[in-house]
Structure 1
């Protein structure tokens, strides 16, 4: 950890409500520095922790940076049993259980659930996944059979943030060079042979969990990144139906009489389309178009799991 990685903060803000960030912060011993307020908000939002001696609870903003505490960046996301996702399981009886899952456990879960008949897997753009399947249960009366849905929701513990074009380009470079991508600790860069990602972009990819740094220094895309990339590549939309409209006077002569919807026709057709270009179909209603779009996302996720896209 270098001097540039540790910032000593001192709260100088006036009295604010508990839990609110300070208005201004200063860096010792340089004196007042307004940009430290932005650093403080970034640190608290990205899980930075107070390290070193003199850790105190600030009486003004109730943040644990105190007068001599130091905020250090979070540890690198490494491969192994460390949890990467929060997991919520909802059973057939409606009970909900919260837990955490490592990267490998989440990847194994996607593979095992996909083998279940009727299971649906849908990656989300925040780097998680939604899993659902139907269970048949006996009802309260004899002979009654009730369909209930079980769900599993995975969300990254560290928010990935927005997938920008720059981040996507960097991830494509890393994914295109498997086995050759490494983290140069001295230069704070990710290198892939002919390409090199700048230090600021490297820090952003590592801190937010877009990439995983292996024990030997090699770098690969995280499972959360692969899920987010897949969901972003298959963004679906449905068009708004025309609704009621008045046809051509020559075609409907004598039908266009006064009063509310006399002579009007209804068109509820909606088009379901996907960013990948493989879906562009019309349905009689927008509800049907949304179902068609959902089935397309689930089918592409199934094919991606079978192809090993989410294996780690």
Structure 2
């Protein structure tokens, strides 16, 4: 703890007429890290400025207890009620966001949007905003694990892979620590970069990201191999799931023979290019089965399989179950 004489670091010339108010809407199973990171930025902005720049309140759909991702129970101060035009709603999402996106919540969001209220979606909460139609034609982001299903369901949203996105008064994050990056940008926009940097310094957050930074680790970091041509091929595979590219064309595009490409994959990844590509496609298929209501045939087509039977055969060989059974088992687990 700093001594009192050092606690107010950033001087602000103008005191706002009134604090900016954030309404945190906690959805069931919301991600604790995303919520806490955002809230702490606002707390530290007040502390470092020596002024009450921000106020916040916690809201739940019913006003009753809400559990977060760790099982900790929160007691919101209010249920869904009337807001002021200047408020910013911060939806805190997490696992099973589809189940948490109720008709009552969607109706409330649409009603408040007509007043001109701003909205932010943390982690998976971009799904809820999109379901309410509040991201149509807007740039937005969501956790990388949910990107495939999101892009299939909400074609009118301009989905990015950035850590956060700001489009007017629509703000979205990818989850995790990206809440810090978004709220540091909010603070910088409201009160200048000096205050935002002071908040980051207090959090020992030395690498502030912008909306140009992508969510996921680079291909070399993820696979643990730093080989430029291998990285290029994998990047092309990840970008062409629906219409797979043949190994011969992939090899030609990076200036090597098909045999050289085979050796490269065997050496570094212990599998053939064809096998690696298949695993990528099946992983996307599994995400779509778990996160969307798409039919199995449409999932198959979205992942580059010409027929449901071929898709089912490949899926069973890799996951030891069929797509239909996988979806049924997932639905059973969600209903418990």
Same fold (TM over 0.5): no
TM-score where L is the length of structure 2: 0.23
The structure that is strand-richer by fraction is: 1
Greater Cα radius of gyration, structure 1 or 2:
1
TM-score where L is the length of structure 1: 0.24
